[in-house]
Each structure stands twice: as structure tokens, then as C-alpha cells.
Amino acid sequence: MNTAADIENTGFEQELAQHIITALNMDMNPAEIDPLAPLHGDDGLGIDSIDVLEISLMITKQYGVQLRSDDANNARIFASLRNLANHVQQYRIK
């Protein structure tokens, strides 16, 4: 069951998914990314540390959010598309 927050975030999650796909030159549709699936590893999108760097640079450029490699919260932030989208929405300046 979707909550109001889920419905509200769907559009932004799709927008962020499209930016990720573009930044990583992936051949897929944003709707194919499960917002709750892990971004790392074989169970999800399968991104690696280089991909995280590319995504971080894109997020800084698109939304003005600085993601630091030494942030203790990175595992949580990059756990899923939904977590990443929520973090970006919370701290975005653009």
C-alpha cells in the first residue's frame, strides 16, 4: 500500500533514476529501477564505487547536494533509490 510520501516521491524518484541511467550510460528505463531494491550488489542495480562517484557528481551538478566519500551515512544514503531520493530532496538547493 502506498503512503502519501510514496506517491509524492514517485515523480522525483523517476527523475533521479533517469539521471542515474544517463550518468552511468545504462540501457534501461527508469521504471525498471525498483525504488526499494539495493543500489549495490547483484540483488539490485549493481553499481560499484566508481558508479557511486559518477552519481555523486551528477547529484551535485543537478541538485547542489554535496555527497562526501567520508560520510558515515553513505551506506544508508546509497542503500536504495528511495533512500537516495529522500536524501537529495532533504538537502537540495537547486
State the pLDDT at residue 69.
87
Mind listing the pLDDT tens digit of every residue in the chain (94 residues)?
A: 444 444 444 799 999 999 999 999 999 999 999 999 999 877 788 899 899 999 999 999 999 999 988 999 999 999 999 999 999 999 998 7
State the pLDDT at residue 94.
79
Cα dihedral sign for 67, 30, 62, 25?
positive
- Output the domain CATH number for residue 60: 1.10.1200.10
Domain count for the chain, please give it: 1
Nearest to 52 by CA among 17, 83, 10, 24: 24
Whether pTM > 0.75 for this model: the answer is yes
State the pLDDT at residue 40.
87
Angle 11-17-19 from CA coordinates, rounded to 5°: 110
Nearest to 35 by CA among 26, 44, 24, 27: 44
Domain span at 60? 4-91
Query: What residue type is assigned to position 42 of the chain?
Result: D
Q: 3-class DSSP state for residue 83?
A: helix
State the pLDDT at residue 89.
95
Residue whose C-alpha cell is 542495480? 45
